[in-house]
Amino acid sequence: MFSFTKEQKTLEISGVKIGGQPGMYPTVLFGGLFFKGEPDFENAKKHIQNMLSLSKKTGNPGIPDFFIRREEHLESIIDFIEENLPAGYPFSIDIIEPSLKIIALETLHKRKLLHRTIYNSIHIGVTDEEREALQRYTPEMAILVAFNPKDKSSDGKIEVLSNGANLLDKGLIDISKEVGVKKTLVDTAALAPGENSGASIAAIPVVKEEYGLPTGCAVHNVVEKSTWLNEFKTARKTVDVSSNINIPLYGGDFAIYGPIENTDLVFPVIAWEDILVSEYTENYFGVSPVDHHPRRKFF
């Protein structure tokens, strides 16, 4: 538990604040929907309600992260967002293919939703066409995935953010600025076990100290890819959920915690960790938690 010497930015999207010194703001929790591609809207409704309810109870903001894999699902998912999220509530769209990302941006622009959109994500695969689309239809916030295939350590993540690691003409941070995205989060790119998986956690304080940007990761991916855990089937979920504790412990600001089905477990676990961090950072560094911080709710 520590405090950064570099000034830490706090970013806001539709009332949700993210970033700052450890212990100041509660960890923001991204829960994924529609991983399998085919949207199950009925189920999604229940899970989002549950996320909102737990968010209110713990103080940890919950952001639904919508996986969109096929163009034919795009309109219906956006309809769902408009109809089922509270008015003005932020959400993130998680799309891999650049061509679909471009269509999604245009659609979100037409539906006047870009001010609530967290674009997940900008990375080394960004195309010129995607950059043009981002410039034309700029989302309120974007996640930069600091994956560097040449160097999976914290240094490699800084390299790809700052200069593109000779895979891009410039670093991801400059690209996001160039296209006009004013609010960026850094995802430290969790990798499978054996692929320097710990680096995504170790990189959190490194990135925050370097740039002062809100930083986090999807560390649950490490657990998901573990074959070793097959030996401990009943422990898998516990390990998956608890792996997210590393993020606030290392000064991180958000956790992309995987399937929204894990909400019931993730929110109290992270709220608990946020309380521990806040108790120390307030006492030692004088960092006071905000009013909706879990520590204010439970103590």
Partner 1 sequence: MKKIVKTTVIGSYPVHINNMELMRKYFNQTEISWEKYIKKAVEDMVNAGIDLISDGQTRDPFVKIFFRKLKGCRIRDRAEVIDKVEHVEPITVEDQKYVKTLLPKDRELIGLITGPYTLTKTCVDLFYNDEKQLAFDFADALRKEAKMLQKHVHMIGIDEPFFSISMPEYAHELIEKIIKGLSCPIRLHVCGDVSSIIPMLLEIPVNVLSHEFKASPHLFKIFKEYSFNQQICLGSVRSDKLQVESVKEIINHIEKGIETFDGRISQIAPDCGLRLLPRDVAFQKLKNLVKAKESIMVW
**Which residues lie near partner 1 (CB under 8 A)?**
96, 98, 123-127, 145, 147, 149-151, 155-156, 158-159, 162-163, 166-168, 171, 189, 191-192, 195, 210, 221, 225
Please report how close the Cβ of residue 295 comes to partner 1 at its closest, in angstroms. 35
For residue 86, which phi and psi values (nearest 5 degrees)?
-55, 150
Please report how close the Cβ of residue 88 comes to partner 1 at its closest, in angstroms. 30
Q: Which amino acid is at 235?
A: A
CA-angle at 77, arms to 127 and 131, nearest 5°: 15
Please report how close the Cβ of residue 126 comes to partner 1 at its closest, in angstroms. 8
The nearer residue to partner 1, 94 or 253, going by C-beta atoms, is: 94
The nearer residue to partner 1, 256 or 270, going by C-beta atoms, is: 256
Q: What is the 3-state secondary structure (H, E, C) of 228-263?
A: HHHHHHHHHHHHHHHHCCHHHHCCCCEEEEEEHHHH
Between CA 49 and CA 42 the distance in angstroms is 11
Please report how close the Cβ of residue 153 comes to partner 1 at its closest, in angstroms. 8
The nearer residue to partner 1, 4 or 285, going by C-beta atoms, is: 4
Helix 41-58 to helix 263-285 angle (10° resolution) is 30
The nearer residue to partner 1, 157 or 183, going by C-beta atoms, is: 157
Please report how close the Cβ of residue 9 comes to partner 1 at its closest, in angstroms. 19
The nearer residue to partner 1, 258 or 294, going by C-beta atoms, is: 258
Between CA 195 and CA 212 the distance in angstroms is 26
For residue 147, which phi and psi values (nearest 5 degrees)?
-85, 125
3-state secondary structure of 99: helix
